Chain A
Amino acid sequence: MSYSCKRITTSRRRFVLSSAALLLAPKASFAQKPRKSAIRFGLTPVFLNDDLQLLSVIRTYLEAATGYKIDLTTRRTYQEVTALLISGQLDAAWICGYPFVKYRTELDLVAVPQWNGKPLYQSYLITKTDRNVTELSDLAGDIHAFSDPNSNSGYLVTMALLHKNELNSETFFEKTLFTYSHRNVIRAVASGLVQSGSVDGYIWEIMREIDPDLVAKTKIIRKSEWFGFPPIATSRQFADSPKIKALKAAFLASNNTEDGRAMLNYLRLSGFTQAPSSLFDPVAQNLKSLKGVL
């Protein structure tokens, strides 16, 4: 693909995403007029975005650390948050590695969370605890739950694995469905609504602490290779803005204050770090392997 073609493709994609963002979030586009003293920060369902206490913890810390008012925006799907971010309606957002890779040219990394001291996480294939299955091939004919079509751990990893094994999700599984939340994938598997699911390993581990009864009904069949942890990204147009600089500094220094540690404790993270975009190359490789399939 030539450079010019790539530019055209990128522009078209940018236009589509911007339009989608306008259509999907008209309220946000008017109600969230940029305010001089506010940082508009988006959260994807990578995290437990329906946890009001988490939102409060993040807001409290970031407002204290940046000196800006923090407007938190949550959306149901990754695509919605990504569209808002790319269209400039959000200053920064906590997105998944897959959208970051997908829109790498439009986005810039702010910080990458560290889990157990590393900016890495895995995708888990899970099923019900009482089910006698041990590997991917045992899941043939299942109803399988994905998290989000723009999730790395909750979709892309499993799709790439199937592709690598020369399998097709449409034929390998009886049916696939999206729950638009990793927690919902766990709920769907635990309840028996579906027989298996693809879930963010970090979320599964956190949920095991928060809701052990629910997670105990599921078991891991396969852990994927390590991927770059879902990063905090910003639109390249805001990358050098004072707000983003303040935000980056706040995340990187989150271990230094009480509020920051409270946030990290809540998220079971070690901290935030700066990482090169190459951290997400494995995601990019998966995406590349699925070119023409997705």
Chain B
Amino acid sequence: MRLFGWVGNFSSAVRIPVMVMLLMAAVSIVLSERVLTRLSQNQESYLQGLASSYLDGVAASVSPSILRRDSWEIYDTLLRMKPHKASVLPRETIVTDADDIILASDKPEAHPTLKLMGKAFRGEFKNTQMRLDTTSELAFQMRPISHQGETIGKVYVVFDASSLLQERRDVLLALLLTNGLLTVLLAGVGFLTVRRMVRPMQILESHLKNATSGGLEPISNEEFQKAGRDAKRIFAAFNQLVSAERDREKLVDSLTKEERLACLGRLASGMAHEINNPLGGLLNAIDTLKKHGDRKSVRLQSTDLIRRGLLGIRDVVQATLATYRPERNSRSFTGQDLSDISLLLRPELKSRSQKLKITNQQSLGVFEGLPAGPMRQAIMNLVLNAVKASPDGAEILLAIDQTNNASTFSIIDQGEGLSDPESKILESRQIKGVPDGISGLGLWVVRQIGNEINATFTIRANKPRGTIVTMTVPTQRSEAIDAAA
């Protein structure tokens, strides 16, 4: 299992040939074992047949001589019967009487005439069954010789089985070489085939990897033409996917632009509303001055009214300027920006009879390192989302905590909570496109800003009702502001 696990770490182009090689090796071992076993059986059967035939001949020829105990006749017969060109030659043939007294052998010096056969040599023979000793490469067989139902002697034969065993070794070597070559050949073929097979997958994998880093590109025509029929289908599907994704990105861009326009509309609407409110009073004051300007008290009251109206208009204009003025990119977020946010959101809050409460606003200093523009945009979007989620007349709380390392902005509403896709947008840094099921782009924009300023978002329930969305922004150096802007 560990082997398979280890092999599994490699690519298919390596894994499959390795598996083919292992499989072939296993098949080779099994086949070789079967062939050698069968060869051994055949050889032993052949040897047994040869030995039986030789022993039959010897037994028939020497029987009369054994009865006469004629050692010379036995010896002469053994020499005359000894084959010289057989593949398996008898190395020694010994004829004894029934008591293992040697009558003659074809090697009289090794087996002296009329001596009792040595116990060690006798022990090499296993009754009448042939015994093949692969170490000494000798085969031993004994055959009793009977005459009228009585054993009159025995023939012991030692065969030289080296040629058979050499044949076995040759066959084994041939098997190993053949199977080895076949294994290497098949592994090579397997490697090339699999490489060819997985090549489209590798192309696809490469394009998908590029896609995760923003480089989603269709598969080129050149690669398309090299691919097989199945791969072409997959490539076509991938290219369709790329095309669809590009359309989706265009749509997102378009929606983003629309959202910006909507924001601009809301801003213009808010500004118009803020300006329009004192404008009526200003016009009335002017009319009053025209009619009753001669009266000092009226004049003073009207001019004061005009002054307050104009101050309100100035505030709105200043807030707008603060938001869109050219130098905003390099400015750090401050408590004044929170006032601007409050001012900008006032029309939206008023329309829902809602209130925005900002905690610790008076004690807040400069949020060093946090770019004002993106921060204002992000907080404003989060508050707008809270306004939208909360019922009419609800109070929305913006709690701010400022430390040396990080600043946290918690927006607490009384709504029903964020949906899963909405939560996912904020919590996951990997969201590239706009997920399905999202009507607006506010949260997506917040996420993008969060990525820029390295902010993290947590969402938890606000008991008994509502949601707490917390944005934590680490304190950044000034260079980061430029980068994030």
Contact = CB atoms under 8 A, between A and B. Distances in A.
Interface of A: 143, 145, 174-175, 177-179, 184, 188, 191-194
Contacts of B112: 192
B76 interface: yes
Q: Name the prevailing secondary structure of the A interface residues.
A: mixed
Interface residues of B, number: 11
Contacts of A194: 71-72, 113
A143 B76 contact: no
A174 B112 CA distance: 13
7 contacts: A143-B71, A178-B72, A179-B72, A184-B72, A188-B72, A193-B113, A194-B72
Given A192-B108, A193-B104, A174 B71 contact: no
A174 B75 CA distance: 18
Interface string B376-388: 0000000000000
A61 to B, nearest CB: 31
A192 B72 contact: no
Contacts of B72: 145, 177-179, 184, 188, 193-194
Given A191-B75, A194-B71, 20 more contacts: A143-B71, A143-B113, A145-B72, A174-B114, A175-B71, A175-B113, A175-B114, A177-B71, A178-B72, A179-B72, A184-B76, A191-B108, A192-B109, A192-B112, A193-B71, A193-B72, A193-B75, A193-B104, A193-B108, A193-B113
Interface string B88-120: 000000000000000010001100111000000
Interface of B: 70-72, 75-76, 104, 108-109, 112-114
A192 B112 CA distance: 7
A191 B74 CA distance: 13
Q: Which of A177, A179, A192, A193 has the most CB of B within 10 A?
A: A193
Q: Which of A145, A177, A179 has the most CB of B within 10 A?
A: A177
Nearest to B75: A193
A255 to B, nearest CB: 37
Contacts of A177: 70-72
A178 B113 CA distance: 15
Contacts of A145: 72
B240 to A, nearest CB: 96
Contacts of B71: 143, 175, 177, 193-194
A193 B112 CA distance: 7
A218 to B, nearest CB: 14
Contacts of B75: 188, 191, 193
A35 to B, nearest CB: 34
A191 B75 CA distance: 10
A179 B104 CA distance: 13
A184 B113 CA distance: 16
* The 4 A-B residue pairs with the shortest CB-CB distance in the complex, in nearest-first order: A192-B109, A192-B108, A193-B108, A179-B72
Contacts of A175: 71, 113-114
Contacts of B104: 193
Contacts of B109: 191-192
Nearest to A185: B72
Contacts of A188: 72, 75
A159 to B, nearest CB: 18
Contacts of B108: 191-193
A83 to B, nearest CB: 21
A177 to B, nearest CB: 5
A152 B64 CA distance: 27
A179 B75 CA distance: 10
Given A191-B75, A192-B108, A143 B70 contact: no
A177 B73 CA distance: 9
Nearest to B74: A193
Contacts of B113: 143, 175, 193-194
A179 B77 CA distance: 12
A7 B71 CA distance: 40
Nearest to A194: B113
A191 B110 CA distance: 10
Contacts of A184: 72, 76
A194 B70 CA distance: 12
Contacts of A143: 71, 113-114
B356 to A, nearest CB: 128
